[in-house]
Structure 1
Amino acid sequence: MTTNFGLLVSAAAKWEAMAGELQKVESRYGETVQTITMGDNWSGVSAGVALTKFTATRYEYSAAQSQAKALASLLRGAHEQFTDLKAKLESARDDAVAAGMTVSGEGRVAFDHARLTPAERSAYQHDPDGQATVRTAVEAWQQHIDDRVKAVAEADTHVKDALEAAVVDSNRDALGRGADETLTGFNNYAEGDLAKAKKHEPADIKTHPDAFTVTGPDIGWTTSGLKYGKEGSFKGYADLFHVSGKGEDHFGGLKLSGVEDIYGGARVTGNYGLTDKGAGAKAEASTGLRFLQEGRAEYGAHSGYARLEAFAGAEASSTAQAGENEVAIGAKRFAGGKITAAGGVESGGLGVGLTGEGWVGKGTEWSYGWKRDAGTGAWKFGAAAGAAAPYGGKLGLEITVDPGKIRKTAADVAHEIGSWFD
């Protein structure tokens, strides 16, 4: 009630003036710095890189103007809205007072007994029905005042959200779609209409409700025999602890995701049998500490990943699998410590991944096989081999072929070429 809303108009004028000054700087930059890359005196890779970077800088000067103008518009809209809501709140208070109520500075409504004559006060004290009517009236006026106050609070929150959203880069022109070369620059598409502005959702990693879990200690054993069309299996575990977390975020068309997993304990697992999909047997036992951290980036048909793992303990396994969607053979035995670094890229349905490990201990490992994902139809071919006594390591290679993505990429390329001719 005591805030000088005129300051919002003054601030808006300064933001508009700032946009004008930024326009001057943009013009000077374009006429002096950016033109260096546009003549015949400079050529080659460095000139091309400079042209891209200088164009991006000028883009930011332009985006800064758009952002400043949007902020000015939002502040003017806030002034108009707050002034109107304040007037409505003052009117509600005046109406309550005219109806025989008092309204405190904190907005609390009460019946104004001071207006009653001694005779009216005596009659009021001996009139239960009249007192009930007054209580009802007080409650109604209180709700009316509260609703007006609530409207101001909601408008205040809306203005705050709109201002926060306006200063976050929307990245519509980033990632190859325009001249924007930074994901955290000025917002060229800042919304200046307060009625259209929406709350900004922070770009922090968004995790699922079950994205971070902690379990253990725990111990157990499960087994299942051979059944028609199903393999038999067994699993035993003695977990000291298991901590896992995951999250993902989106920046325009770019998707970032990550996984982290830390485990300590001992496990024994296996499956065996003959089904309509093939025959196989696999057994694995391990005890010790494991750590895994992986990050992945995806943009359309392109993706890449990097993974870091560490292990200290002992492990052994043996695999023999043959079926319509998978063939795999391998064996492993190791005791000691190892560090794994892996990474890979995929584009248009074709991918390659490399794995490198450093071992301190004693053991050997080898594996070979291919597998088809029944859901996506993608094929994965992989091979790895390693040894240590006591120092050594392992190297691995994985190739991915996704026919569905390859067909889509080919169709997109054909469409793009067709649009060029059009």
Structure 2
Amino acid sequence: MTTDLSTLDAADRWDGMAKELHKQEVAYKRDVHSTATRETWQGLSADAAAERFHVTLKEFQKAQVEAKAVASLLRDARTQFVGLRKKLESIREDAVAAGMKVSDKGLVSHDREKLGYGSRDSLAPAPEYLESVRKAVNSWQQSIDQLVKDVGEADKGVEIALQGVVIDSDMTDGTFNGFNGNAHGDTEKYGADAAAQARTKTDGWTGEGKVTATGPDVGAVAIGPKYGKEGTLKAYADLFHVTAEGSRTNGNLTLSGIADGYGGARATANYGLTDQGVVGKAEASAGARGLVEGRAEYGHVGAYGRGEGFAGAEAGVAAKVGKDEVSVGGKAFAGAKGSAAGGVEVAGIGIGGTGEAWAGPGAEAKFGFERDEDGTFKLGGKVGASPILGGAVGIEIAVDPGKVADAAGDAANAVGDAAGAVGDAAGSVKDTVTGWF
């Protein structure tokens, strides 16, 4: 009842975004896309460029479709919520006019104070009067409960639509997880599609996932420190990079996993003195590496396991001191190694360990503290050595303030809801008992 629905007016901004994307589409088609179709550029390179330019042009067009669909969904959501809230306000007013009281939590009771003393004395003892009051209270309660349920269903429908509108299901357009060229602004259709999918799932599980693939690619980047940013040097020759991730959810239980594979050679360096601190690091590697990680979460409790493999050569050194990170480390290795890691998390606080087996000469040591982009604090370290055969061990501790706050909030809400239920029930009993006298 107190939600500020004016934020849904962002629909106008999404329409504006579609217009700006159209301008970029026109400019791209004129200045970039057309270069690969002119007679002045022919051959394999022109054919390869034309194919990529065409994919990008299509992405500009699909982005406009998606932006317009989001705008339509936001307007539809506002219309639904405003209408349902007015219905809820109206039925509450009707209930009060009919002699009822409605609490802030939507609980209905008979308002005895609206009866005169004479009416209370003459009507209260009559069993048929008490029965009529009970039926009236139940009827108004059912009407209000149904409207509250309607609001919840509308809210869920909007959530499903906003999640579905950005999913690119076309795997033949040259992009993975690009813009959705089939997006539409019909909230009910997204809900119907989700319901149809749910009917095909007999075990109660729902899931989602995506796959991205890039390469081969070669390039180099050199950016000097400026405008408060670090300097970066990078050269790479990527043969392939494939990532697949997905999750399955059933109630409070969520199972998720990711698999990542990379082959190629890279050399990077970052340096500079900025408002974020002092950093100096360099790393080079060549070979193939793979990672598989699985995670299980139930409410505020979770566990994870991770396996990694690497074959090739790598070396690096790093040091950083800043408000979000303090770390130092170095490594050098040639050969093959495999690692396994696992840990648990409770209410946003996690602890885990890592063990590695190495075949080949190398050494590694690192220790650090950081706060990542999600606000999670991480503390960990690893040390290892191998003349020919050896390994490494490590520890990792993480604290997610958001999850800690959510867990504390859920606990507080549970206590508050219990106390509120007791208070509402006591008030209802008081009203009923008072009405008998």
Which structure would you say has the larger Rg?
A: 1
TM norm structure 1 = 0.50
Greater share of helix: 2
TM norm structure 2 = 0.48
